[in-house]
Amino acid sequence: MKKFCFIILIFGLISCSRNQPDSLLVNLPSVNLKLIESFKTNVPEPSGLFYNKKTESLFTVSDGNSTVYEIDFYGKIKNSFSIQSTDLEGISFSENCDTMYVVEEQNKLVTKYLSNGTKLYSFSVNVATVQNNALEGIAIDNRNAIYVLNEKLPNMLLKFSNKTELFRKEINYTKDCSDICYDKDSDCLWMVSDESQKVIKMSKDGNIINSYNINFSKGEGITIYQNKIYIISDYDGMMYVFEKP
């Protein structure tokens, strides 16, 4: 009987540990990002954000139309152009900024363009179980590896080399995943979660490093520039600038 009870206890502990959220998040201190300034943009329903080192400006897309917007660091539109994609939710560029990648949520596609908007190709990312909770963010690292977020059901980070999937990891420490960017200085990823109102610093294999609070919802785009974190909101079209911790 004692041996049987011991086996049941061990099985129960293993089962519980599998269902628990990431223990690192529980042990992390609750820290607020320090807001520096904020700006209003005229981009309709902005989603995704990227700092382009070649143009020294920011790029975002609108999930209300098939348009890419180039904006300055005060949120003002400098340029815009239409592309052959729909339901845009994220944007990134290659390491040398000569090619552009966007994610199309409902079509579950990653689409590659030249920087002038000429379409090259698309590939499917099959992970979402709900059409409106599909692809939501994209980032390219310094070796041109592609990181793609699925919003929720499941929350997931996927890594690709060109069109080939290398791994996928479920993100269990936020309610959803809204956008992601690559930080070359730290060789890591930063993610914003709309529903959790958090910014997550994570390793490139999806393990959490730190967690920070933000006090607004609908954070839909994130990027890093000169030790600052830029986050754009879908709700009010505001762009918030935070001190990078």
Average pLDDT over residues 233-240: 92
Whether residue 16 is contained in a domain is answered as no
Whether residue 182 is contained in a domain is answered as yes
The domain in which residue 105 lies consists of 28-243
| Selection from 210, 215, 219 nearest residue 245 by Cα | 210
Q: Do residues 105 and 134 lie in contact, with contact meaning Cβ atoms separated by under 8 Å?
A: yes
Which amino acid is present at 25? L
Question: Residue 97, Cα to own-chain centre: how many angstroms?
Answer: 18
Query: Residue 84 above 50 pLDDT?
Result: yes
Whether residue 14 is contained in a domain is answered as no
Which amino acid is present at 223? T
Say what the pLDDT of residue 43 is: 96
* CA within 13 Å, CB half, 206: 20
| Selection from 60, 180, 162 nearest residue 120 by Cα | 162
Domain total of the chain: 1
Backbone angles phi, psi at 31, to 5 degrees: -120, 135
Give the alpha-carbon dihedral of 146, 151, 153, 155, to 10 degrees: 60
Give pLDDT tens digits for 28-69.
667 999 999 999 999 999 999 999 999 999 999 998 899 999
Whether residue 13 is contained in a domain is answered as no
| Selection from 155, 150, 124, 139 nearest residue 203 by Cα | 139
pTM: 0.89
Whether residue 216 is contained in a domain is answered as yes
Residue 72 and residue 175: Cα distance in Å, rounded?
31
9-13, 123-127, 128-132 — which is least confidently predicted?
Answer: 9-13
Q: What is the DSSP letter of 75?
A: S
Average pLDDT over residues 83-108: 97
Backbone angles phi, psi at 241, to 5 degrees: -115, 125
Instruction: Enter the tokens of residue 201.
Output: 């610093």
* DSSP line for 166-177: EEEEE--SSS--
Whether residue 1 is contained in a domain is answered as no
Q: Do residues 212 and 199 lie in contact, with contact meaning Cβ atoms separated by under 8 Å?
A: yes
CA end-to-end span of the chain: 54
Say what the pLDDT of residue 4 is: 39
* DSSP line for 227-238: TEEEEEETTT-E
CATH code (residue 224)? 2.120.10.30
Instruction: Enter the tokens of residue 171.
Output: 């993100």
Residue 145 and residue 139: Cα distance in Å, rounded?
8
167: Cβ–Cβ under 8 A, 6 or more apart, which residues? Answer: 158, 159, 205
pLDDT bucket at 27, cuts 50 / 70 / 90:
low
